[in-house]
């Protein structure tokens, strides 16, 4: 797996799949046609006639597509096709046949959107030169328990945990500012033996530990050096520690004057399972504070319960409120526990329930919402939490008013 860290985005590329996570006002869906074209022209995937889009004539039909996002903090600042969920769904329907759109959570509160296609996705046929094809609008389902679709086999266990956090504690968020991180780095430099400690301000000639060569300039800037300081001081480096994952690596960057992004590459300790990832993006300004954490490291590998990972991440960022989505493939029959030589499905269900119940409790927070979805080949659990001393929307309204005043 190759991991790319961009200013507001992260991209992870495997031989068979791609994950692109963006923030801010990036127009992610506008890149989909070009991505499908690249897959056909340069990555060796089977070519198909592309849907009508910006002069692209060839594309690869993906096996499956997932698109998700939280409800926007400032929807009026987005650009097309991200001005509304309806526009986003229409944009994807123009590319893919039989997509399904879901809204998960309260319509008048915190919620999460998901669009996914069926296994073996088909591309939407291009419009006829003589007539414009009208694409039927995909209905967004707002059911708490949509009807389960038949399960399809997946080529690997797929598990994604995502925490989307807002209203970060202001004092705690200062660690993601350049001024604070510089002070931490300078103190470390003063306190450490210079012979045994790296000066983060003079690492432009760092050697690559693996190859012995000189690292490229983009990896030796102050932003990367201070990003490493922040990832260590805030506790992010301890979520998947070197003691458990000796080959794990973190690429972190601290922006000027504030803001933080990090990608983690986490190979399996035994070297037999696929390489996994985690990614973090932080906007610490109080009027729009936000942090996201996402990982696909399976709970069976990390040596910690999923609930422990959640608590550890929440303790790092101290949000006023946050949502959790856990998205994972359904266990196949032959993966379930066997008792006396007979597959015991009930035992597996009880185990999943116990694991789910452990995730309900997050110290210092109350769970406001929990919704379970049974999707085609996947189980999805959405949870929303608020800090025990959270006072609803008053704080948000005060910050937005303050932001407008500064404008």
Active-site residue set = 9, 23, 261, 281
CA distance 186 to 189: 5
DSSP lists the bridge partners of residue 3 as: 12
CA distance 202 to 70: 40
CA distance 311 to 169: 16
Q: Of 361, 381, 356, which is closest to residue 370 (Cα–Cα)? A: 381
Please tell me whether the peptide bond between 81 and the residue prior to it is cis, using omega within 30 degrees of 0. Answer: yes
Helix (H, G, I), strand (E, B), or coil: what is residue 160? strand
Residue whose entry in the numeric block shows the structure tokens 């119940």? 357
CA distance 205 to 197: 15
Q: Of 12, 35, 1, which is closest to residue 262 (Cα–Cα)? A: 12
Element holding 104 (H helix, E strand): strand 100-105
Residues with Cβ < 8 Å from 30, sequence gap 6 or more? 81
* Torsion of the alpha carbons at 314, 315, 316 and 318, rounded to the nearest 10: 70
CA distance 153 to 357: 27
Residues with Cβ < 8 Å from 215, sequence gap 6 or more? 206, 207, 208
CA distance 171 to 53: 47
Element holding 319 (H helix, E strand): strand 319-329
**Are 320 and 166 a contacting pair, CB within 8 Å?**
yes
CA distance 402 to 396: 10
């Amino acid at each position: 797996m190759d991991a790319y860290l961009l200013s507001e985005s992260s991209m992870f590329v495997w031989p068979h799949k791609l994950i692109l996570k963006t923030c801010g006002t990036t127009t992610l869906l506008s890149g989909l046609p070009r991505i499908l074209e690249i897959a056909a022209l340069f990555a060796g995937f089977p070519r198909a006639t592309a849907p009508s889009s910006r002069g692209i004539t060839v594309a690869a039909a993906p096996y499956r597509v997932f698109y998700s996002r939280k409800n926007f903090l400032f929807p009026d600042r987005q650009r097309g096709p991200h001005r509304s969920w309806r526009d986003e769904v229409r944009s994807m329907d123009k590319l893919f046949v039989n997509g399904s759109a879901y809204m998960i959570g309260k319509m008048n509160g915190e919620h999460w959107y998901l669009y996914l296609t069926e296994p073996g996705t088909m591309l939407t046929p291009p419009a006829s030169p003589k007539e414009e094809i009208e694409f039927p609008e995909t209905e967004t389902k707002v059911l708490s328990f949509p009807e389960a679709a038949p399960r399809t086999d997946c080529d690997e266990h797929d598990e994604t945990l995502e925490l989307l956090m807002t209203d970060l504690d202001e004092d705690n968020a200062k660690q993601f500012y350049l001024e604070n991180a510089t002070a931490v780095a300078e103190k470390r430099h003063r306190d450490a033996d210079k012979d045994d400690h790296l000066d983060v301000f003079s690492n432009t000639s760092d050697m690559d530990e693996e190859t012995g060569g000189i690292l490229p300039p983009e990896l030796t800037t102050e932003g990367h050096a201070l990003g490493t300081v922040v990832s260590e001081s805030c506790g992010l480096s301890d979520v998947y520690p070197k003691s458990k994952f000796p080959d794990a690596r973190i690429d972190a960057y601290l922006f000027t004057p504030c803001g933080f992004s990090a990608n983690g590459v986490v190979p399996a300790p035994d070297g037999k399972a696929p390489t996994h990832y985690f990614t973090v993006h932080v906007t610490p300004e109080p009027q729009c504070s936000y942090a996201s954490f996402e990982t696909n490291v399976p709970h069976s590998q990390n040596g910690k319960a999923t609930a422990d990972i959640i608590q550890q991440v929440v303790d790092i960022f101290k949000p006023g409120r946050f949502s959790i989505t856990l998205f994972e493939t359904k266990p196949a029959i032959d993966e379930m526990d066997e008792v006396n030589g007979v597959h015991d499905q009930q035992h597996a269900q009880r185990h999943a329930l116990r694991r789910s119940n452990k995730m309900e409790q997050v110290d210092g927070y109350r769970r406001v919402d929990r919704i379970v979805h049974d999707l085609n080949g996947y189980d999805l659990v959405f949870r929303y939490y608020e800090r025990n001393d959270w006072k609803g929307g008053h704080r948000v309204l005060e910050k937005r008013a303050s932001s407008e005043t500064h404008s």
